Structure 1
Amino acid sequence: MIPSRRTLLAALAAVGTLASLAACAGGSDSSGASDAGGGTYSFWDPYPQFDASSAWGKRVSRCGTKAGVTLKRTAYDTTDLGNKALLAAQQGNAPDVMLVDNPVVSTLVEAGILNRTSDLGLDTKSVQQNIIGAGTIDGAAYGIPIGANTLGLYYNKKVLSAAGVDPASVKDWNSLTAALQKVRSTGKKGITFSAIGTEEGSFQFLPWFWGAGADLKELNSAKGVAALSLWKQWVDDGLAPKDVLQNTQTTSWQEFATGEYAFGENGTWQLGNADKAGFDYGVINIPAQKGGSAPVPTGGEFVTVPVQKDTARYDVTGKIVTCLTSDANLLASDTTLTYVAPVAAVQAEQVRQNPKLKPWVAAVAAARGRTSGGLGTTYPTISQPLWTAVQAALSGGKSAQSALDTAQAGAQKG
């Protein structure tokens, strides 16, 4: 069934609100619609930074060839892709296959423009449940993840050593705060992160929020207040810089890369930059309040199949999706996209080939989708009040409790 214009317009507004943070960014504005004839199928992705000669571009082309067709690839930036997908569906010329950021899946499903994977005969049994959860609505999967990236704590070995801190001793919030205090006493800096007033700020706050046991449906619970109070304490005590209020994940990384900080909260996508930083580093999982690994939000994209008027195209489309998500190609995502595979057997091979991925596999195992747990398209109406609360508390404008009370009221209105 082709969705109604009213449904698509509502979804278009939701995609605009999501404005994804993702690790993959760039800009491009080329067009590419489905060509029903000549053995040409269309594929859209959010990777304009990769041209046809890149490993990713070649992989897409090979999957078309393997399916017996020419696969015409078009790249947009993440937000633009979601908007164009909705408009293309309204016009009846959606692409055959589309790779979309995981929080957008539920919006596209609500608009009625994606097929269930089970209806296409695609197998998702081997995919980790917490990863595919971001693309699962009412028990049905609407895409297959090509991998996941998430957050961890990078640490500077020299800075910690000089402060007499063993990174293995950082197991909960108290031990992390104690480590930051020891580092400060040596004249170095504690921890940097992104608390900017965008989705990036919510993304980086979620491990601490979830690590306290808080629920996004109740932002102002005592557990949520504890998480925001932790960040506020760090900023007020000088253990984290005040510029976290303006930091994106990129500028936060640049601070950590100066070599002055003990810890930097950042993602899998910084591994290449970490190797170029000029100092020895390590990675630990973000600790939960009382110990163990905190749940972290999953980043990454899903291969999806938009609804087509010509259902005869789905046979070839299924072959293309199967190729893009094969174990061999998921393994290749390690070096192409710096993703942890969504399949345990492939993760094991990734770690064998690159031991530095071991903590990231553990982090992904503890991760959850931002739209999981039935939140779906309500997530943006929660995330914006949440990042606004973080800004209000860290700037000193409100107490953590007051800021989250306001956020909860705003989320309920949304």
Structure 2
Amino acid sequence: MSSASRSVRAIAVCGAAVLAMAGCSSDTGAGGAQSSDTYTWWDPYPQHKKSSEWAERVAKCGDKAGVTIKRTAYDTTALTNQALLAAQEGTSPDLMLLDNPAVSTLADTGMLTTMKEFGLGTSGIDKNLLAAGVVDGKKYGIPVGANTLALYYNKDVLDAAGVDPASVKDWDSLTAALKKVTGAGKKGITFAGIGTEEGSFQFLPWFWGAGADLHDLDSPEAADALKLWTDWRKRGYAPESVINNSQNTTWEEFLTGKFAFAVNGTWQVDSAAKAKFDTGVLQIPGKDGGVAPTPTGGEFITAPVQKDTGRYDVTKKIVKCMTTPEGMVETAKTFAYYIPPTKATQDQLLKEKPRLKPWVKAVRTAKGRTSDNLGTDYPKISEPLWTAVQKALSKSKSPEGALKEAQSTAKDKVG
């Protein structure tokens, strides 16, 4: 275990902005002195109130460890900012669930323990999911579950256009399907090209599916991916709205029943089942076939550094409770859209929820956004990337020109 005096490196945070953040649930207050029988827990689920199954699940793990868990929930951005502030003030919670790209950011400050320091093994976790929490070979948390992207399709629209979903195996066959659908008077595909992290998140399967690398944003492969999106827009296979679409608005478009395909995530499983038309799920294809890597979403359970290292024994019990095979499956069922992070637990979940099979397959081939040892460099690359997507979709720059500018910007930021 690292020393209690382990320093937290300088953190560039706008204090006023952090203090002004909203979105905290009413379950508990944040910060404050920690007592020996109360352990603090922060997570990014303000939608899950004190009476929710999730809150009860967290509380039960405290009961098993012989303590009370004081849970505070923030939205994702507020949680990261609050964590950085708490690190500066020495008021970090005992446990935090972090959106996976935030793990490297907080690990870089020195505020998180490694799992090796904490005495917890990670050998059974799928490597592609664990990678988002690895910085310089050190593991800073355990994924409690993952979600990712795939192609939802409207079976009624495809049937009317004479398109067999099984025929979609690469970019050419997908584009051919879009041509048939729009020729039959329906709409092709909708996706989120918004100028935020959601835009990068949705573009990455096509970027990676072309063989592109985030270290080289202006490669020919990257240009192929962006040309695919801009060509779809030019031909009318994708609507003008994609440039402003969030993942939520994309889904709202799909639920109108007019679109053949929508790029969206595991979290829409229940909504798709309730749609007024038959839906299905396809893996996003790579340019020349196969399954494109899709970015992983989901949270890691982490243990911040504490001045009182005597607290770690109980914290470890709580972490173990949350990450047993049974615990991982229970988390997946509690949220309905999480896929557990080990093959054994994925197989167990499929016995109870076989309709999640396409999503288990998608998660098994997914990739962390901070993988390839990008760590804290990822946000410096992601913003220029989504900016390039915006410029290309708006026709203010060619795909090649937009990506060349993005690479220059990213290089300046990363150094």
* Residues 146 and 300 in structure 1, CA contact (< 8 A), matched pair in contact too: yes
Q: Structure 2 regions of 5+ residues with no counterpart?
A: none
Per-residue deviation, 1:2:
4.8
Identity of aligned residues (%): 57
Per-residue deviation, 1:324:
1.1
Q: How does 1:194-205 map to 2 (within 5 A)?
A: 194-205=192-203
| Alignment CA distance shift 1:193-1:320 (3 Å) | same
Q: For 1:130 and 1:27, locate their aligned partners in 2 and report how far apart those are by CA, in whole Å.
A: 31
What is the letter of the counterpart of residue 119 of structure 2? G
Q: For 1:160 and 1:291, locate their aligned partners in 2 and report how far apart those are by CA, in whole Å.
A: 20
**Greater than 6 Å deviation, 4+ residue runs:** none
Partner of residue 117 from structure 1, selected from 115, 118, 123? 115
Is 1:360 aligned to residue 362 of structure 2?
A: no
Q: For 2:94 and 2:31, locate their aligned partners in 1 and report how far apart those are by CA, in whole Å.
A: 8
Q: For 2:159 and 2:24, locate their aligned partners in 1 and report how far apart those are by CA, in whole Å.
A: 41
SS of equivalent to 1:9: coil
Is 1:242 aligned to residue 244 of structure 2?
A: no
What is the letter of the counterpart of residue 384 of structure 2? P
TM norm structure 2: 0.94
* Residues 142 and 302 in structure 2, CA contact (< 8 A), matched pair in contact too: yes
Is 1:383 aligned to residue 382 of structure 2?
A: yes
What is the letter of the counterpart of residue 384 of structure 1? E
What is the letter of the counterpart of residue 174 of structure 1? D
Q: For 1:178 and 1:119, locate their aligned partners in 2 and report how far apart those are by CA, in whole Å.
A: 53
Aligned to 2:11: 9
* Residues 144 and 302 in structure 1, CA contact (< 8 A), matched pair in contact too: yes
Aligned to 2:159: 161
Q: How does 1:45-194 map to 2 (within 5 A)?
A: 45-194=43-192
What is the letter of the counterpart of residue 355 of structure 1? P
What is the letter of the counterpart of residue 203 of structure 2? F
Per-residue deviation, 1:26:
6.0
Per-residue deviation, 1:363:
0.6
Q: How does 1:296-311 map to 2 (within 5 A)?
A: 296-311=294-309
Aligned to 1:20: none
Q: For 1:137 and 1:127, locate their aligned partners in 2 and report how far apart those are by CA, in whole Å.
A: 16
1:260-300 residue CA offsets vs partner (Å, 9 max, x unmatched): 00000000000111112111100010000010110000000
* Residues 159 and 261 in structure 1, CA contact (< 8 A), matched pair in contact too: yes
Per-residue deviation, 1:38:
4.4
1:46-76 residue CA offsets vs partner (Å, 9 max, x unmatched): 0000012111000000000000111111111
SS of equivalent to 2:11: helix
1:135-177 residue CA offsets vs partner (Å, 9 max, x unmatched): 0111111000000000000000011011111101100000000
* Residues 191 and 239 in structure 1, CA contact (< 8 A), matched pair in contact too: yes
Q: For 1:183 and 1:344, locate their aligned partners in 2 and report how far apart those are by CA, in whole Å.
A: 37
* Residues 156 and 263 in structure 1, CA contact (< 8 A), matched pair in contact too: yes
Q: Structure 1 regions of 5+ residues with no counterpart?
A: 18-24
Q: For 1:28 and 1:34, locate their aligned partners in 2 and report how far apart those are by CA, in whole Å.
A: 16
Q: How does 1:228-377 map to 2 (within 5 A)?
A: 228-337=226-335, 338-377=337-376
Q: For 1:313 and 1:331, locate their aligned partners in 2 and report how far apart those are by CA, in whole Å.
A: 27
Q: For 1:250 and 1:333, locate their aligned partners in 2 and report how far apart those are by CA, in whole Å.
A: 23
Aligned to 1:394: 393
Per-residue deviation, 1:336:
1.9
Deviates most, 238-247 or 271-280: 271-280
Partner of residue 215 from structure 1, selected from 213, 216, 232? 213
Q: For 2:115 and 2:283, locate their aligned partners in 1 and report how far apart those are by CA, in whole Å.
A: 32
1:93-127 residue CA offsets vs partner (Å, 9 max, x unmatched): 11001101100110111100000011111121111
* Residues 34 and 40 in structure 2, CA contact (< 8 A), matched pair in contact too: no
* Residues 2 and 113 in structure 1, CA contact (< 8 A), matched pair in contact too: no
Q: For 1:232 and 1:26, locate their aligned partners in 2 and report how far apart those are by CA, in whole Å.
A: 36
Q: For 2:129 and 2:199, locate their aligned partners in 1 and report how far apart those are by CA, in whole Å.
A: 21
TM norm structure 1: 0.94
SS of equivalent to 2:334: helix
| Alignment CA distance shift 1:90-1:181 (3 Å) | same
1:314-351 residue CA offsets vs partner (Å, 9 max, x unmatched): 00000000111111121122232210000111101111
Per-residue deviation, 1:356:
1.5
* Residues 208 and 227 in structure 1, CA contact (< 8 A), matched pair in contact too: yes
SS of equivalent to 1:47: coil
Aligned to 2:30: 32
Q: How many residues of Structure 1 are paired with residues of Structure 2 in the alignment?
A: 403
Q: For 2:54 and 2:32, locate their aligned partners in 1 and report how far apart those are by CA, in whole Å.
A: 21
Per-residue deviation, 1:28:
3.6
What is the letter of the counterpart of residue 331 of structure 2? S
* Residues 218 and 403 in structure 2, CA contact (< 8 A), matched pair in contact too: yes
Kindly report the root-mean-square deviation, in angstroms, between the aligned alpha carbons of the 2 structures. 1.6
* Residues 192 and 255 in structure 1, CA contact (< 8 A), matched pair in contact too: yes
| Alignment CA distance shift 1:27-1:393 (3 Å) | farther
